Amino acid sequence: MRILKIVLPIVMVSSLYSASGSTLYKQKCKSCHGVKAEKRAMSKSKVIKGMPVSRIEREMYNYSSGKRKAMSYVLKIKRDFVKHHTKRELHDLARYIHSL
């Protein structure tokens, strides 16, 4: 019980500082992928609407690691995005996209 009293507030506070999938999508993804993830970003990417969560996550990491090829400025954007967000935030983003 004592551990719970210590750990629970930390978890609650840390969740306040992580961006939700919805917020991340609206701030960082919507302009290229569309309101409902229905667009091909830069008229080149695949539509991400309806993709499984695991595939969305894999694609984000593949872009950031260089496994997936794209225009250099797109790779930089994706690398910076993945680098500056936690795994949890990226997972929440993938879940949000899948839910659209």
List the CATH number of the domain containing 23.
Answer: 1.10.760.10
- Judge whether 10 lies within some domain: no
- Judge whether 54 lies within some domain: yes
pLDDT in tens, the chain (100 residues): 565 456 445 554 444 445 799 999 999 999 999 999 999 988 888 899 999 999 999 988 988 877 877 777 777 888 888 889 999 999 999 999 999 9
Global pTM reads: 0.75
Total domain count, the chain: 1
- Judge whether 28 lies within some domain: yes
DSSP structural state of residue 28: I
- Judge whether 29 lies within some domain: yes
12's tokens: 């609650």
Domain that holds residue 25: 19-99
Supply the pLDDT for residue 9.
56
Handedness of CA 94, 52, 60, 14 (dihedral sign): positive
